Amino acid sequence: MYHFLQKFHSGWAYLALLLLVVAVVNAIIGLTSKKEFTAKDRKISLFALIGTHTQLLVGLILYFVSPLGKDAFGQMSNAALRLTSLEHPLVNIIAIVLITIGWSKHKKLINSQAKFKTFAIFYGLGLLLILSRIPWNLWL
């Protein structure tokens, strides 16, 4: 089960990142071009939200069945173990909380520009945080 989850988590990450990048770029384009926020824009953002939440769920399950997860938690002097056992999960949880806040805030807004701005800021910050804590040496 561990190997399947590890491969799924790594493979799904490409899709989740692609959806998140598309949502951020769409929000920036919508903000700069001053276009109306449509159902297509909402669906793009929703798919990014679902993709990142799925990645988080699989990642949390993987964390508790992985020998690199909670078992390595006490070894903070080793940079690679610290990344996989603390930094990667913690920063990505913060990123997905920001993405979720962005989704929740947009529902209360009426103005299209405010919706695009909210997605650009919150999804953009989430994307930057996620990119900052990807274990690139294990991923590529």
CB 14 within 8 A of CB 36: no
pLDDT (0 to 100) of residue 135: 80
pLDDT (0 to 100) of residue 69: 60
- 45: containing domain: 1-138
Q: What is the pLDDT along the chain (140 residues), one digit of tens a residue?
A: 888 988 899 899 999 999 999 999 999 999 999 999 999 999 999 999 999 999 999 999 988 887 766 666 667 777 777 777 788 889 999 999 999 999 999 999 999 999 999 999 999 999 999 999 888 776 65
pLDDT (0 to 100) of residue 106: 96
pTM: 0.90
Any idea what DSSP says for residue 34?
Answer: T
* Total domains present in the chain: 1
pLDDT (0 to 100) of residue 70: 60
CB 59 within 8 A of CB 134: no
pLDDT (0 to 100) of residue 139: 64
pLDDT (0 to 100) of residue 73: 65
Nearest alpha-carbon partner for 25 in 13, 33, 138, 88: 33
